[in-house]
Structure 1
Amino acid sequence: MAGRLPTLMTNDLPTASTQETSATASPARGSAMLNNIFKQVRVPEFRFRWQFWAEKGQASAPASSKTPSTVAGAEEYASRPKPLGDQIISVKDFYQHFNNIPVDNLKLRDSIHLFHQGVKPLWEDTRNTRGGAWYFKVNKELAGDFWHEICLLAVGDVLQSAVETKRDSFNDDICGVSFSVRWNAVQIAIWTRDADNEAGKEKLLQTVLEKLSEKLVPKKDSYYYRVHKDHKAFAAPGQ
């Protein structure tokens, strides 16, 4: 029949011998080969080392608040964030952790943080006391994608480049980013080290608005910057 394509017949083909089967690349051998390649090829490292943290919120108060009137209360608050896994120094490390931290399963007031190694996700940490954060109110349906992109902007040095200063006395940094479940939305925060760096704060916001996927760009009334020490529950070091 005109235009009919030839058909490849595979009936009655001889089976592969044991020797031929052993020489065939199987999925297992493929994985072993890739693992061997990864061992030999050096994965590019991030400029900064990172650490994931988990924080279980309290039902009676926001995860970011505390009652510092007693030493016991302050110690309990400071001990709430718990490190997750090892330090993160490459994209491979990042996804090994990120893919095993499903933020969709977090309960009300729970938080996940991704911070520079050595910086604890507390306002009173010595690297955070002079800083603040941009807070974004994100629809829960979009929060997972928003969080993913913000994390990549953080570890990829895009956010850092926006706030970085070259002063002798005090330089600004991105300290970390946070994902916190609230009643009707998710609060995603980008923590900066220097709340007085006005130019850096504005450049950081513009960077976020420009780099996020179009569907994730937040509306103008859904974000704000707040200095850590302006929170009622903030307790200066030594208090």
Structure 2
Amino acid sequence: MSQNPPRPGLGLFTRNLPSSSLSQSTTDPNSPSVTTPAEQRDDAKRNFLKAMRPLPTQHYWNVWFDRPSQQTSANPEEYHSNLEQLGSTIESVQDFWRYANNTPVDQIRMKESLYLFKVGFKPIWEDRRNVLGGSWTFRVPKQNGPDVWTRVQLLAIGEKLQSVLEEGDQICGVGLSVRFNSHLISIWHRDSSKKTSIDNILACVLEELPRELAPKPDNYFYKKHSDHAGFKAPPELQAVIDSQKARERAAEEKAGQRVEAVAGEAPEIREVPPSS
């Protein structure tokens, strides 16, 4: 009886494979060494994510941490010394989530603050890029704070906040400060004379936050940095601040004059008695 010819190509399945692979088909299917289809899919997904190119953010961002001073001094230099830059610069969406997923907001202590600011900006009122700016501050219950904070940061790095500003204005960064029973979440922009920017930042936040997270009207406010009691402008920038205030006063006076002129042009209305 003739023998069956050897099956060509059989060696392709066993060549250069470790001996454990040859016996895997005979092992217990419940053994941890057996790869299931679900595990294979998970491995493929992980390998795919590793191979993906990072999705860059339009701007680079730095994370800052502020520990409160034990002294009551409002010296800007002392505040500056309490600031600490954390980690490396955020340059992509992946970088952001790596930072966000490893930063336990609920463990930040009373009066400590965390900031996400564009590279080149520091969370200091007197910083040369901030002196003419201001910020919206939202008081959020602590149980909602981490969620609102994440959403506001995404509005910043995703350029949604920047897109609603007037031309010539710029988002500087966002911050979170811990208080007794709430989180103060702030949004800083560069030019407090831009009224449309101020209104649009608020409208954007209220529109983008889910209804259950949106702050109540009495829990948010806007303030210029220069209006804070502790603000101390550097001498070399005081003239710039004074010039902005002079322009704002002139604009207010001009607006008031227009209102008076319109009121003066209103026709006099006389009551005509009914005819008998």
TM-score per shorter chain, which class? 0.7 to 0.9
Separation in 1, partners of 2:182, 2:51 = 44
Aligned length: 210
Give the Cα separation in 2 of the matches to 1:131 and 1:67.
19
Task: Report the TM-score, using the length of structure 1 for normalisation.
Answer: 0.79
The one of 195, 218, 221 aligned to 1:221: 218
The SS at the match of 1:202 is helix
| Greater fraction helix | 2
Match of 2:121 in 1: 119
CA distance in 2, matches of 1:216, 1:109: 22
Aligned residue in 1 for 2:9? none
Which of 11, 18, 25 is residue 23 of structure 2 equivalent to? 18
- 1:58–1:109 contact (8 Å) kept in structure 2: no
Aligned equivalents of 1:191, 1:127: Cα separation in 2: 11
CA–CA distance in 2 between the matches of 1:44 and 1:100? 19
For residue 176 of structure 1, what is the aligned residue in structure 2? 173
Residue in structure 2 matched with residue 7 of structure 1 by the alignment: none
Say which SS state the counterpart of residue 122 (structure 2) adopts: coil
1:162-183 superposed Cα distances (whole Å, 9 cap, x missing partner) = 1141xxxxx2111011100112
Q: Aligned partners of 1:29 and 1:84: how far apart in 2?
A: 37
Of residues 133-142 and 33-42 in structure 1, the stretch that sits farther from structure 2 once superposed is 33-42
Query: 2 CA distance for matches of 1:86 and 1:164?
Result: 31
Structure 1 portions without partners, runs of 5+: 1-15, 69-73, 166-170
Structure 1 residues 107, 211: closer, same or farther in 2, change over 3 A? same
Match of 1:107 in 2: 109
- Counterpart of 1:198, as a letter, is K
RMSD between aligned alpha carbons?
2.5
User: Structure 1 residues 31, 56: CA separation in 2 closer, same or farther (over 3 Å shift)?
Assistant: farther
1:17 and 1:95, CA in 2 relative to 1: closer, same or farther beyond 3 A? same
Structure 2 counterpart of 1:143, one-letter code = G
Residue type of the alignment partner of 2:163: S
Q: Cα distance, 1:221 vs. partner?
A: 0.9
In 1, distance between residues paired with 2:23 and 2:84?
53
Q: Gaps spanning 5+ residues in structure 2: where? A: 1-20, 28-32, 237-276
CA distance in 1, matches of 2:74, 2:204: 35
Once the two structures are superposed, residues 195-226 of structure 1 have per-residue CA deviations (whole angstroms, 9 ceiling, x without a partner) of 01101110111010000011111111111100
Larger Rg: 2
Question: What's the TM-score once normalised by structure 2's chain length?
Answer: 0.69
Shift of residue 27, structure 1, vs aligned partner: 8.8
Structure 1 match to 2:207: 210
